[in-house]
Chains A and B, each alone.
Chain A
Amino acid sequence: DAKTTQPNSMESNEEEPVHLPCNHSTISGTDYIHWYRQLPSQGPEYVIHGLTSNVNNRMASLAIAEDRKSSTLILHRATLRDAAVYYCILRGAGTASKLTFGTGTRLQVTL
């Protein structure tokens, strides 16, 4: 499985945008870039995914580099409820494809 590299932790002030980076230099052409987050004592939650083009949804935006070797998850206005561990994961297509979690980025949001 291709691996991802993320900073261990980041901090943000509430109401400000947050850019969470992810490096995946060994990504293959068929790998999708997925982002999940995990709040304390809960199962992970899907945030967003993309293949080549930038993506937006109600939770976040995903900016993918042209060479696909890195991506950035953007939370447009961080709230205290966004404090979580964010995981950037590469995954092939198909419901049977595995999700292999790395160490993720712990996001702290302060007032």
Chain B
Amino acid sequence: GAVVSQHPSWVICKSGTSVKIECRSLDFQATTMFWYRQFPKQSLMLMATSNEGSKATYEQGVEKDKFLINHASLTLSTLTVTSAHPEDSSFYICSGGREFYEQYFGPGTRLTVT
């Protein structure tokens, strides 16, 4: 199957700083990618849809000024958590699809804000 990578796999940052997470499709091009957040023992929550060359579409309740998404190329989408706080600590996962029926998920990035 196709491969999606994320970098970094884990990050620890101090409260008030910003963190950028990269999501790359390694062997396919994705005009659309998705960003999810997952708290311990909970399901994935869709945060936003990242569209190549245009603005991201955010789900209700997700602050677009706090979670900045950039999809500058067909193989790279980035999520920047700005002014991170401890409540932003979570597992962030991206996905992209080559075929309409199959989404390929990255391995996730674990963010800890101290």
* A residues adjacent to B (C-beta < 8 A): 32, 34, 36, 38, 41-46, 49, 85, 87, 93-104
Contact = CB atoms under 8 A, between A and B. Distances in A.
B105 interface: yes
Interface of B is mostly: strand
Interface of A is mostly: loop
Contacts, number: 59
B46 interface: yes
Interface residues of B, number: 28
Interface of B: 1, 4, 30-32, 34, 36, 43-46, 49, 51, 91, 93, 95, 97-108
Given A96-B32, A100-B46, A103-B43, A44 B100 contact: no
Contacts of B105: 43-45
A43 B108 contact: yes
A97 B103 CA distance: 10
Contacts of A34: 101
